[in-house]
Amino acid sequence: MIKAITGTKDILPIDIPKWKYLESIVESTMKTFNYKEIRTPIFEETALFSRGIGESTDIVSKEMYSFVDRSGTSVTLKPEMTASTVRAFMEHSLGKQQGLNKLYYVSPMFRQERPQAGRYRQFHQFGAEALGSHEPLIDAEMIILAHRIISRLGLNNIEIKINSLGIPESREKYKIILKEFIKPHFEKLTEDSRKRFDTNILRIFDSKADNDQQIMKDAPLLIDHLDEESLKHFETVKQILDKAKIKYDVDPKLVRGLDYYTHTTFEILSSSVGAQSALCGGGRYNLLAEQLGGNPTPAIGFAAGIERILLACENEKSLNLPEDNIDLYIVRMDKELTAEAYELSVIFRNENINVELDYLSRSVKAQMREANKLNAKFVLLIGGDEYAQKKLVLKNMETSEQIFFDINDLISIKEKIIN
RNA sequence: GUGGGUAUAGCUCAGUUGGUUAGAGCGUCUGGUUGUGGCCCAGAAGGUCAUGGGUUCAAAUCCCAUUACUCACCCCA
C-alpha cells in the first residue's frame, strides 16, 4: 500500500478543529494589528532562495526540495516565506503604494530534514513581515504580535529571547576578534564547530557539546562590539517591550541560522515540546531586498511553526475547543420512507440547518444511536402511526421531549430547531 | 547524513523461560419483543503478529537483513 511520504502528515477530520481554531486566532490577531494576508506560490525559482537565504546555510545547502521542470528551470518548494514575500513585494512595487507594508501569511513549507518531534518535511508556518520601516517600534511590534498570538492560544511555558546582530560592518570586525579568541582552542573544538569556524563562526555559540560551550563561555560577545547606532536601536526595542510588559531575556549567544538578519533577532521557546523548542523565530533583514536586486528596504519579520505550537497546546491542554454537533438527525422508521426523509433533509439544509440521516438502511435503534453519537440537538422521526395521521415527531435529544407537528408545518419545525 | 528505540485487530496495548485454534479495553456492526439515543447486557465481524531469510521437532517470542515509524544529534519553525 502506498503511504504518505516520509515527514509528511495527513491532517484528519478529528484534528481539523484545532487547526481551524489556531488559524482563526492568527487571523483575528493579525487584523488587530492591521496586517494584511499575502499568498505566494508554493514554489519559486531556486535562485530566489539560494540568493536570499544564503548559499552557506543548511537550508540552501542540504534541505531544499529542488527539481528541474520541463522547461529546464530549477524550481524549489518554498522552505520559508521571507524571500517569497520580498520577491512579491518588489515584483508588485508594493513599497511605492505605501510607506509601510504589514503582511502576514499561513502556508506549508518544505525542507528535507530527518523528521523528529515537532519537525516535518512538509510543515506549516504562520508569520508576519513588515517592509519599509527601520524604526525600532516595528521590531518591538513583531515580538509583541508573535507573543500575543501564542498567549491567546493559552501557552504558558514560554520564554522570549532577543539579541542584536547589529550591522555587517561591526559584525565583520567582531568576527575577527572572535577568531583570534578561538584560534588557540581550535584543535579542541568538535568537528562540526571546526567547520563552522570558516563558514559561519557565530554559530559555534549554538553548539550543544559541553566542550564547545566551555570554550565559548568566556568568548567576547557581539553585543559588546556593536556600533553605537545599533546599540541605541536595540535599547529602544527593549524599552518598548518593557512598557508593553513583555518579559524577555537578552541572549547574546542567540545567533540565527539565516544570512539575511541584521539588528534585532528573537525567538520564542517552549518547554512543553521536545528538543525542537523554538515555536517562533524572527528578526530584522534590512539588506535582503537589495540583495535580491530591489531597492534597499528595511524590514523585519517572524515565522512560527504551527505543528510545534499545536504540540505545545496539546501538552499543556491549553485549547478549549467547542464540541462538535449537528442540528438535526432525520430518522426514518420505515425503509419505504427513505425518499421522503431525504427530501426533508434537502429542505432543511436549504434553510442552513445542519442535517444528517442514515445512508446504510439501518434500524431505528441504529439511527438513534448515530444521532446520539453525532451530538444531534434534535431528531425528526418520520413514519409509523403519526405519519399515517400526517404528523412528524421532533425529539429534543437533551430533554427527550417529543413534539408533534403537522407534516406540512415545516416552518414551525425550523423555528423550534433554531430557537 | 549519524546514533538509540519500536513494529501484534481501526485505536491503545497484553502475550510468562520459544509449546495447541494469538487476547483485552475502546471503537465498529447486530440484537435486548411489533416504533426511539445515552447507561447497562448479549453476540458478531476484524490479525500474512511490518517484510524477507535463518536457528529449532516447534517462532509473535531467539538471530540477521530490509522497510517503516519514533526520539536525539546537525540545523531549524
Q: What is the pLDDT of residue A390?
A: 93
Quote the CATH superfamily of domain A16-167+227-316.
Bira Bifunctional Protein; Domain 2 (3.30.930.10)
The residue ranges of every structural domain in chain A are: 16-167+227-316, 326-418
Q: What percent of chain A has pLDDT over 70?
A: 100
Grid coordinates given for A172: 565583520
- Give the β-pairing of A299-305 and A326-332: unpaired
Chain B footprint positions (protein CB, under 7 Å)? 1-3, 28-32, 35-38, 68-77
What Å value separates CA A13 and C1' B14?
30
Helix (H) or strand (E) holding A143, with range, is: helix A136-152
Q: What is the pLDDT of residue A148?
A: 98
What Å value separates CA A270 and C1' B5?
25
The interface pTM score, or ipTM, of the predicted complex is: 0.89
Q: Which nucleotide is nearest to A360 (CA to C1')?
A: B29
What Å value separates CA A329 and C1' B43?
28
Q: Which amino acid is at A292?
A: L
List, for residues A346-385, the tens digit of each pLDDT value.
999 999 999 999 999 999 999 999 999 999 999 999 998 8
What Å value separates CA A336 and C1' B32?
25
Q: What percent of chain A has pLDDT over 90?
A: 75
The secondary structure of residue A119, as a DSSP letter, is B
Backbone angles phi, psi at A153, to 5 degrees: -85, 0
DSSP A186-203: GGGS-HHHHHHHHH-GGG
Q: Is A7 left (phi over 0), alpha (psi -120 to 50) or beta?
A: left
Q: Which nucleotide is nearest to A9 (CA to C1')?
A: B69
Residue A191 has pLDDT above 80, yes or no: no
Q: Are A335 and A367 in contact (CB under 8 A)?
A: no
Residue A256 has pLDDT above 90, yes or no: no
Domain covering A326-418 in this structure, CATH number? 3.40.50.800
Grid coordinates given for A119: 519537525
Q: Which nucleotide is nearest to A308 (CA to C1')?
A: B77
List, for residues A294-347, the tens digit of each pLDDT value.
999 999 999 999 999 999 999 998 998 888 899 999 999 998 999 999 999 999
CB atoms within 10 A of CB A156: 12
CA distance A310 to A22: 8
What Å value separates CA A63 and C1' B53?
36
CA distance A226 to A147: 27
